Amino acid sequence: MDIPRQVVSFLSSRGLMLATAESCTAGLIASLISSVPGSGACLDVGFVTYSPTGKAGFLGVREETMKQHGLTSEAVAREMAEGALAQEACCADVAVSNTGVADAPPGNDGPPAGTQCFAWSYKLRDGRIQTFSETKVFEGERNEVRKAAALYALSRIEHHFNEMRQG
C-alpha cells in the first residue's frame, strides 16, 4: 500500500489542498507527499516547528496550552493543525500535525519513547474548522518512529474526512 500516493489521489480527486504542521516528523509528512508525481496540485504549505517558540510564533500555539498539557499532547497538536489553517497565506482545506517523542533519554520523566500526538483539521464550507486528534505509541529506533508517525498521519486524512462528513 503506497500511502502517500493514495493521499495525493484522495486530495486531488476532491480538489483539496493540504498543509502540514510538523514537530517530531520535521517535514517528513510533507516530504512523503511531495515524492508523489502531481502532488503540487494538493500540497499547499508545510511548517516545521520543533521549538516551543516556533509553535507559538508561526502556528499560534498558546504558551498556556504547552505548559498545561506538555509539548507531546493532543492539545498542542490540535492548536498546531488549526494554526496552520489560520495562517493568512495558507490556502489549504486540510491540515495534519504531529508532535511527539521519537526517543527518550534514560531517566526521562516525560512521555515514553515513541509517543506521537496527531491532529487533523478540516475547513468546513461555512468557515468553521473541525479537528480530530489521536495519540499513538510506535516502536523502533528514532527514525523508524518518525517514518511510522508520518505514514500514520497521512493514512488517517481520508478516514477523518469521512467521519466529518457523516457527523
CATH classification of the domain holding 147? 3.90.950.20
Question: Contacts for 55-60 with beta carbons within 8 Å, 24 or more apart?
Answer: 55/23, 55/79, 55/80, 55/99, 58/83, 58/87, 59/21, 59/83, 59/84, 59/87, 60/86
pLDDT score, position 110: 84
Q: Within 10 Å of residue 112's Cβ, how many Cβ atoms?
A: 10
Q: How many domains does the chain have?
A: 1
SS3 84: helix
CA distance 5 to 38: 9
Domain extent at residue 146: 3-166
pLDDT, tens only, 61-74: 999 999 999 999 99
Helices and strands, number each (H, E), in the chain: 7, 5
pLDDT, tens only, 88-108: 999 999 999 999 999 977 777
Is the sign of the CA dihedral 124, 128, 130, 131 positive or negative?
Answer: positive
pLDDT, tens only, 1-52: 699 999 999 999 999 999 999 999 999 999 999 999 999 999 999 999 999 9
pLDDT score, position 133: 98
The radius of gyration of the chain's CA atoms, rounded to the nearest angstrom, is 15
Please name which of 84, 83, 67, 65 lies closest in space to residue 75, comparing C-alpha atoms.
Answer: 65
CA distance 103 to 157: 25
User: What does pTM read for this prediction?
Assistant: 0.95
